[in-house]
Amino acid sequence: MLNPKYALSNKILSQITAIAEARAYISRAKILPQQELRLRRQALIRMTHHSTEIEGNALNMGQVEALYDNKKIDAPDRDIYEVKNYLNALKYIEKVVVQDLPITEKVILKIHKLVTDKTLDPKASGHYRTGPIYIVKNQIGKPREILYTGPEAKRVPALMKNFLAWLTKSEKEDINPVIVVAIAHMEIAAIHPFNDGNGRTARAVATLILYKRGYDFRRLFALEDYYNTDRTSYYDAINLGNTYDARQKDMTSWLEYFITGFREEIDSVKDKILSLSTKSVDSKIKSQIYLTPKQLKIIDLLDKVGRISTKDVEKALSCPKRTAQLHLQKLKKIKMIKMIGKGKSTSYVSNS
């Protein structure tokens, strides 16, 4: 079984304490559902943009947002597929959490399949690699330099099983989820179990672990922001060495780097929440979103387009007109939306 070596340095402990304090504040802060949904959508867009950009995707934040909203953009097909794929992987992660599924080999392979759809041979997408793999450094005018050689392909299934066994053990031993995520990220990167998409899969699995272990921070964070800002520091910190067996065994320095970035992102979320919660919020609004998933979908649609009609809701929810009207009346009653116009020209806008 995997047996990570690390020390709980003062730096790590102080950062974990600060993260726990921020988590407590974020979980109980009062903000309107529209505000929370907006922040959550922004987090998904940032997460997708930075996780794919680290791997060389050329789309900017605005283009990623357009794809999130199902709009067409003019860009290379591969870049578009990578972004859509990552968004689909994040949707799948939410499904795993909602259904309370365990993190298994099948789940990780499914995430990889979603991440690499249409960008990798179907025989390799969602399957462990069957040959050698290298991390290389290409420099103009210089020969290609091999930075890291992954473990032999025949070892990959056993190494992944060892990793998953440790992941289960870490929960039973109540290891802090932030430490678990940092180790999981490094271990998947070190095993490099796939022909392509290893980094994106590792980061998606890290997000899934946090969601599953109650460290979702209302799903308003995007860890990739910090690591994409200075990629050289990111690669230096992860320090895989030359091979899996010869890599640096002590993970303390990696944990310090990872957790520092984690805290920076969570502090940013806390600041955003703080700025919103200081505004006037009705005393009836709970600290968490309390609407049904369908009502949240209506609020999300309204936030995107600014104004909706009953027909818009019918289409979005694939429901009868009467059901759409009932949802809108409930949202109007609790003052989440307001009605404008009369008769056939009736529509609804946000009440915030």
Q: pTM value?
A: 0.83
91-133: per-residue pLDDT in tens?
999 999 989 999 999 999 999 999 999 999 999 999 999 999 9
The residue extents of the domains of the chain are 10-277, 293-350
Q: Which residues of 32-44 are buried (b: 16+ CB within 10 A; e: fewer)?
A: bbbbbbbbbbbbb
Q: 103-112: per-residue pLDDT in tens?
A: 999 999 999 9
250 has which bridge partners? 5
Contacts of 53 (CB under 8 A, 6+ apart): 59, 228
- Is domain 293-350 in CATH 1.10.10.10, yes or no? yes
DSSP E strand stretches across the chain: 134-137, 145-149, 337-340, 347-350
Mean pLDDT estimate for the chain: 89
pLDDT in tens, 181-229: 999 999 999 999 999 999 999 999 999 999 999 999 999 999 888 878 7
Q: In this structure, what token pair is assigned to residue 341?
A: 């116009």
What CATH number should be reported for the domain whose range is 10-277?
1.10.3290.10
